Amino acid sequence: MLVGDDVRVLVATQPIDFRAGINRLVSLISQSLEGDPYDGRLYVFRSKRNDRLKAIRFDGSGVLLATKWLEAGKFFWPPIQDGSMVLSGPQYAALLSGLDWMKLETRTFRRPMISG
């Protein structure tokens, strides 16, 4: 499930039972992550194995669930802890590709005060 730069991506840092479906993941978002599963954010869950992920998002008309298993290698996950962490669109794209998203350089640009 690809997203644009404007979509907030939340990664649950605790592994889940990978048999969980849409209903269970929506419940986890509401209860464990204290989020709103219908807010348009993309929620990403990891399995106990490092080579699988599930992503869930409400698109305005229904809930989408995507699963990805890497054929070789592993996903680079944040340390296991309670809660979630926010990723940018490019960081999520790197995670989804099996790249080390933590090595991406992020820059913040200030808005110019005067133009012309």
Domains identified in the chain, total number: 1
Q: Is residue 108 part of a domain?
A: no
High-pLDDT (> 70) share of the chain, %: 87
pLDDT given at position 103: 74
- Report the distance separating Cα 42 and Cα 40, nearest Å: 7
Q: Is residue 4 part of a domain?
A: no
Q: Is residue 112 part of a domain?
A: no
CA nearest 87: which of 74, 100, 68?
Answer: 100
Q: Is residue 50 part of a domain?
A: yes
Range of the domain at 24: 9-103
Q: Is residue 99 part of a domain?
A: yes
Angle among Cα 12, 52, 32 to the nearest 5 degrees reads 20
Q: Would you place residue 4 in the very low, low, confident or very high pLDDT band (cuts 50, 70, 90)?
A: low
pLDDT given at position 108: 62
Q: Is residue 115 part of a domain?
A: no
The model's pTM is 0.80
Q: Is residue 30 part of a domain?
A: yes
What would the pLDDT profile of 5-60 be if each residue is shown by its tens digit?
A: 677 899 998 999 999 999 999 999 999 888 899 998 999 999 988 899 999 999 89
Residue 2 has pLDDT above 60, yes or no: no
The number of residues making up the chain comes to 116
Q: Is residue 22 part of a domain?
A: yes
pLDDT given at position 49: 86
